[in-house]
């Protein structure tokens, strides 16, 4: 969200109502931000900020650490703005603070998540992904977030020019909403690529392993260890040496986190499409359920299932800046694969993790 777009709303709102009311005008309509709720969210995201900082530094996950610290810090600032607005709903500064921060924060959340998809492509093997270079997942979707913010800035500029001419800024508002809609569209593409990767990793490998033509429920009973020979051998130590619950359930956790953020972004598009005085934006219960709850749960999930633990961040480095061509050590057949490799032989058969 841009300052210009929000400030335009403030100017227009004030211009329409100042003549009819000598009192200060509430920027929240008839709604007054709930103090207890907003203070609680400050505390929740404050704790998540500390946890993400500590886990990121401990597990040496710099990108995840910076992205989620920014996300949590901006969320804290946003809810500080709402808490301060409780006693003064006409203050432009606190209104801008909460509106801008709460709209911007999930961009950083998704930036951290995009990078984890690239790592999973590297761990299982680029052959399973639509985009064969893992770094493309980060570049493309982070670039989409930047484009989304630029579109919003253009809409804000149009609204600002309209306000300077003392005109309504419907076109600028529509462009602004289009920026948010573009963010939802890019997330939709990301989800498509993500579910395609999961299908390839967990279903196609089972079809090939069992020589089955069609997906069936019985394939879900095939042990993951039986099909591990299908994956990139270089990161076998991350997947099965030893098997760890945090890695086993990490794809599920990441899926839930992305869907939660996705729901929140759709809500924001609908909210702003209704206008600055619309029903959703002037009823805090929707922000509680469809924004605060969604983002806090997504962040908490990615804290419990932290990629630093899932990917053995302290001892294993997973570069995603280039694609390594499969070599002899990366390709296995079922006949020569064994999870219980003798440590004395592992040095010659498995690239060091």
Q: Flag the least confident range among 41-45, 177-181, 349-353.
A: 349-353
Q: What is the pLDDT of residue 195?
A: 94
Q: Which residue has the higher pLDDT, 94 or 96?
A: 94
| Residue-range domains of the chain with CATH | 3-17+24-320 (1.20.1070)
pLDDT at position 133, please?
82
Query: Looking at the predicted structure, is the pLDDT value of residue 244 above 50?
Result: yes
pLDDT number for residue 96: 78
Q: What is the pLDDT of residue 176?
A: 75
Q: What is the pLDDT of residue 206?
A: 92
pLDDT (0 to 100) of residue 332? 47
Mean pLDDT of 76-86: 95
Query: Is pLDDT larger for residue 275 or for residue 3?
Result: 275
At 158, the pLDDT band (50, 70, 90 cuts) reads low
In tens, the pLDDT along 257-310 reads: 999 999 999 998 898 888 777 888 888 999 999 999 999 999 999 999 999 999
Whether the predicted model's global pTM rises above the 0.85 cut: no
Which one is predicted more confidently, 342 or 157? 157
83-106: average pLDDT: 86
Top pLDDT among 243 and 326 is at: 243
Length of the chain (residues):
353
**What pLDDT does 249 receive?**
95
Please give the distance of CA 69 from its chain centroid, rounded to a whole number. 13
Query: What integer best gives the mean pLDDT of the chain?
Result: 81
Say if residue 233's pLDDT is above 70. yes
Q: What are phi and psi of 154, to 5 degrees?
A: -65, -45
């Amino acid at each position: 969200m841009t300052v210009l777009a929000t400030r335009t709303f403030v100017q227009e709102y004030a211009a329409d109502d100042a003549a009819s009311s000598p009192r200060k005008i509430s920027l929240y309509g008839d709604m007054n931000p709930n103090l207890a709720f907003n203070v609680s969210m400050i505390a929740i995201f404050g704790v998540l900020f500390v946890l993400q900082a500590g886990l990121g530094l401990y597990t040496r996950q710099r990108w995840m650490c910076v992205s989620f610290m920014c996300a949590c810090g901006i969320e804290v600032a946003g809810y500080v703005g709402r808490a301060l607005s409780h006693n003064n709903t006409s203050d432009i500064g606190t209104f801008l603070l909460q509106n801008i921060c709460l709209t911007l924060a999930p961009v950083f959340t998704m930036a951290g998540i995009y990078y984890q998809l690239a790592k999973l492509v590297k761990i299982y093997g680029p052959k399973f992904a639509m985009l064969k270079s893992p770094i493309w997942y980060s570049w493309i979707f982070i670039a989409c977030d930047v484009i989304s913010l630029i579109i919003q800035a253009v809409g804000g500029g149009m609204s600002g020019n309209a306000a300077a001419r003392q005109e309504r800024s419907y076109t600028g508002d529509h462009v602004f909403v289009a920026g948010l809609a573009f963010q939802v569209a890019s997330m939709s593409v990301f989800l498509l690529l993500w579910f395609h990767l999961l299908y390839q990793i967990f279903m196609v490998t089972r079809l090939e392993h069992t020589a089955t033509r069609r997906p069936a429920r019985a394939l879900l009973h095939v042990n993951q260890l039986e099909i591990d020979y299908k994956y990139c051998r270089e990161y076998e130590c991350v997947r099965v040496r030893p098997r760890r619950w945090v890695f086993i359930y990490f794809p599920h956790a990441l899926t839930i986190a992305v869907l939660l953020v996705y729901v929140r972004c759709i809500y924001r598009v609908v909210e702003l499409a209704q206008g600055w005085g619309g029903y959703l934006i002037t009823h805090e219960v929707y922000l509680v359920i469809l924004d605060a709850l969604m983002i806090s749960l997504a962040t908490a999930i990615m804290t419990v299932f932290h990629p630093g633990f899932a990917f053995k961040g302290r001892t294993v480095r997973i570069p995603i800046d280039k694609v390594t061509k499969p070599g002899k050590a990366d390709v296995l057949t079922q006949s020569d694969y064994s999870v219980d490799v003798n440590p004395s032989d592992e040095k010659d058969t498995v690239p060091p993790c």
